[in-house]
Amino acid sequence: MQGLTVKGLDCVRGERLVFAGVALAVNPGRALLLSGANGSGKSSLLRILAGLLQPAAGTLAWEGEDIATDSEAHRRRIAYVGHADPVKPGLTVCENLEFWARLYGFEPGIEPALYQFGIEHLADLPARYLSAGQRRRLTLARLAAGQNSPAGPPLWLLDEPAAGLDPDAVAMLANSILAHLANEGVAVIASHGGRLDEALDGHTSRLVLQDDAP
């Protein structure tokens, strides 16, 4: 029961100390909700956990093993959803999802993922015609594609994943996350509260990042 463990994490952006001494532990089958004011470092923390940012200090471990010893293996265990939607307007919905799924080795999960996020009827539509919410659904469908594939990553790092989603899509996202947790997956989710937090209630703990780091 080890999952993700973080100790004494400091983050410096430019000259500014964003947070210091952050410690957390998320066991398999559990999700950690990150909250805090704008600029408190939720996105930075997620990017550090994904290996996209280097921490100023601290250690990260997965199943008790320091992530720094094998960063390649750590990348393979991550599904990261940031603020932006990596969706190309010139490709269709299906082509967009297919590209990422094949790049990550999630091919078997493509079609069910479209259904899972209710965008199967848009499969052949160029992504330039999607609304912001539909683009978000397409981004999240990549998580579902991983979930439906044996190569699916166990650690989900989601940065405000429900932003721009309607209540139905939030429910679909919550179902995906709950299924991931039921499969002994781990999720760290930056969230400002709302329907998603309520839907995940009972499976989560919360970390509030302070705006003024010591």
Partner 1 sequence: MIRLLLLIRRELKLAFRGGTDAAMAVVFFILAATLFPFGIGPDIEVLPRIGGGVIWVVALLASMLSLERMFSADYEDGSLEQFVLSPLPMGMVALAKMISHWLTTGVLLLAAAPVLAVFYNLPSTAFVPLIVSMLLGTPTLSLIGAIGAALTLGARRSGVLISLLVLPLYIPVLIFGSLVVDSALAGREYGSLLMVLGGFLLVALATAPWATAAALRQAID
Residue 52 DSSP class: S
Q: Is the CB of residue 2 less than 8 Å from the CB of residue 186?
A: no
Number of residues that bind partner 1 (CB under 8 A): 25
Q: Least distance in Å: CB of 13 to partner 1?
A: 10
- Residue 126 or 203 with smaller CB distance to partner 1: 126
Instruction: Measure CA 109 to chain center.
Output: 18
Restricted to residues 78-137, the positions that interact with partner 1 (CB under 8 A) are 78, 80, 82-88, 90-91, 95, 99-100, 102-105
Distance in Å, CB of 159 to partner 1, minimum: 10
Binding flag, residue 62, partner 1 (CB under 8 A): no
Asked if 75 touches partner 1 (CB under 8 A), the answer is: yes
Determine contact, residues 25/6, Cβ cutoff 8 Å. Answer: yes
Q: Please give the C-alpha separations between residue 110 and each of 16, 53, 124, 206, 210, in angstroms, as whole numbers.
A: 42, 29, 13, 32, 39
Place of tokens 């259904």: 115
Give contact residues for partner 1 (rule: CB under 8 A): 50-54, 75-76, 78, 80, 82-88, 90-91, 95, 99-100, 102-105
